[in-house]
Amino acid sequence: MIDTHCHLLPRIDDGTRSPAEALALARQLVDAGVRAVVCTPHFSRRFPTAHGSARIRLKELTAILAEAGVPLELELAAEVAPGAAAEASTGDLTERRMGETHLLVELEPDTPAGFVEVALERLGEISLTPVFAHPERCPAVRSQPRVLDAARAAGALVQVVAPSLVGSWGGGAADAAWHLLESGRVDLLASDAHRPRRQGTHLAIAAPLVAARLGAEALTELTERGPARIVGPALQAS
């Protein structure tokens, strides 16, 4: 699997708190079947993560994983808050892209449904395509799934995350996540992992559930083929 939403980098946002914790999470991701991670530190008012600092953390963690023999490839993007997606400079957004043309844009619980169209227009002006993260957590969007239909028809992608599927964000988010999956409105499934967990990652629990309900081919499309279409060349080789 290729994980396209993960807060693996240590001491940079609300993700892992130390290199040791990042190493532990990396091992859990590998145990869950992940072979590559796009690290997506927050870029928001709360976490105005400098891209240069994130690149330093990425280089440091890559060395730690290599020394520990953990077979996990890393690339860098960001999880961009709605306000930043609408207002940040072209340079700030472009350097945080996923692959060459996509940008992971968070839909927060209080994000209005109309933001989806705003993001499409703004990012289209700078030749970026949004990947809308965890719409199942956004009441305005999950109550109007046709907003996502229109966005996908315009080229955008939709990503649900494993914690929602297993109920960590409540029953409403779980029901919405499964409905989006089963209605064919989802392009990517990701971990949104922040810390190692005693029980292992949420993705390790969610992936077999998705395979059981939608089939193994659907899981592969959501976690391998779909991500491979958008990430950089370093993560595309099997």
Q: Note whether residue 236 is domain-resident.
A: no
Give the type of residue at 27: R
Give me the helices (H) in the chain, please: 19-31, 51-68, 82-87, 90-94, 115-125, 139-142, 145-153, 162-165, 171-182, 202-214, 216-220, 226-230
CA distance 122 to 64: 38
Distance between CA atoms of 31 and 36, rounded to whole angstroms? 12
Band (238; pLDDT cuts 50, 70, 90) = very low
Separation of alpha carbons 132 and 56, rounded Å: 26
Listed in sequence order, the residues at least 6 apart from 175 whose beta carbon sits closer than 8 Å to its beta carbon are: none
For residues 35 and 71, the answer to whether their CB atoms sit within 8 Å is yes
DSSP 8-state class, residue 97: -
Q: Which helix (H) or strand (E) holds 129?
A: strand 129-133
DSSP SS3 for 126: coil
| Contact (CB, 8 A) for 164 and 198 | no
- With respect to residue 144, please indicate whether it lies within any of the assigned structural domains: yes
pLDDT tens, 21-60? 999 999 999 999 999 999 999 999 999 999 999 999 999 9
Question: Per the domain annotation, does 188 fall within a domain?
Answer: yes
Task: Indicate whether 15 belongs to any domain.
Answer: yes
Residue 169 lies in a domain: yes
pLDDT, position 200: 96
pLDDT tens digits, residue range 90-127?
999 999 999 999 999 999 999 999 999 999 999 999 99
Q: Tell whether 238 is covered by a domain.
A: no
* Structural domain contains residue 237: no
Confidence of residue 235 (pLDDT cuts 50, 70, 90): low
Give the range of the structural domain holding residue 198, as residue numbers without chain letter.
Answer: 2-231
Domain at 222, CATH number: 3.20.20.140
DSSP assignment letter at 34: -
What is the distance between the alpha carbons of residues 202 and 16, in angstroms, rounded to a whole number? Answer: 15
Q: Would you say 222 and 38 are in contact if contact means Cβ atoms under 8 Å apart?
A: no
Number of domains in the chain: 1
Supply 39's token pair: 């690290």
Q: What's the CA gap between 4 and 134, in Å, rounded?
A: 12
Q: Say if 118 falls within a structural domain.
A: yes
